[in-house]
Structure 1
Amino acid sequence: MATSSDSDNEIIGTRAKLFGHEKPIHQVLGGGKVADMLLWRNRNVSAALLVAMTVIWLLFEIFEYNFVTLLCHISITTMLVLFIWSTVADILKWKGPQIPDIILQESFFHDLASILHKRFNQLLPMLLHISSGIDLPFFLLIIVSLYILSVIGSYFNFVNLLYIGFLCMQTLPIVYERYEEEINNLVGDMIIVLRKSYRSFNKNYLNKIPRGPVKQKKTR
């Protein structure tokens, strides 16, 4: 007969890992240029994207720009700069402005689409597995987390939520990569506490709920 210490040892022996021992965070993020950008492997691209998103957030949230107005102002400014550049180049016999055919590499969008497609295909079976109630403590943790997120979302508009989400994407992966062991231990301890609490609750309350007799199937 299993004792409570045996159960505790079993729980501790199944300490949770966020991505498993065999999968580094770079591989989890796709292992391509998008992963390099999120993990700041290419600091210039990551910093430029962070500055660009911050400027967009300031324009929409602080200066309260309308999207159509902002788009028109950007187009007007770009056309004026190109006009002045072309005029000066003709006068001074310089080389005129030339816009490259491909500003961003096509592989970047392919990598991004591939990661989104892969994560979406992984998300649906994961949601089905969680919703089935096989791991009830984890199911309750997800429910509480989504509720907390919904409460937080009621205090922020959509633009702020997008910017906060982008900041999390730019910071959380690299923080996890640098402090992977500490974060895994912290998450594992939280899962262990939840599982112990659920087992105690199940033993003291759920198992004491009276149930009807189980009907046995008739065999011929």
Structure 2
Amino acid sequence: MDLRDTLVKVGLEKDAADALSSMPSKLVQVDPRRPFREPGSARNEVMFVRTGILCKFKSDGAGRRQIVSLRFPGEGILPSPSNADYGLQAIVRSEVMVGRDDDFYEVVAKHPSINPFLFRLVQREASISHEWLLNCGRRDSTARVAHFLCEVAARTGVEGENKVLRLPFTQQQIADITGQTSVNVNRVFAELERQQLIHREGRMIEFLDWVELQRVGSFQPDYLLGSKTLSR
């Protein structure tokens, strides 16, 4: 499904979706081995992920990285007057549509129906951020990983009993998302397998007991409700 079809599917009017998807832009192939945008970069662009996954990241004074947000295919990043306080990097090789903020604002001005659409999407992203803060701040290591697996499955449409998720994240990336070490993430995966909640084969994760995995991770998908396309 292309960007225009995705926007229409989640409720944007067809003419507005046509205008957003056809605005002047360039397609950029993003290599996961190096940052795509460094912290402090100007935010005078609008971005849509066409394929792959982008992450926002921040680093502390010692250079330790925390992944603070993800963008899946169809999702995006809006422009802002200030410089970014985060960096952008691909999780896997990704294709990103990048446009100028002036062109984006022109489209929004001509299609007022986009404004409430964007408002809902910003609200959704805030809800996801709140859930991630709770996950890292209060849940134990097993619950953090279980919750993250449930969210990825829900955001990619493969949640449910006996469904199989091809996990695109390395253990280090999962550690950078859940605020722990890669060694501990490996132990958690082993524990989830021991409890017969998942079965792992390489990066393929089969959900053996979806209901129990959600319970372990305290996962309630209501915070993901709403559009899944363009986020701040």
Could you say which structure has the greater relative contact order, defined with CA pairs below 8 angstroms and 6 or more residues apart?
A: 1
Q: TM-score of the superposition, structure 1-length normalised?
A: 0.26
Highest Rg: 1 or 2? 1
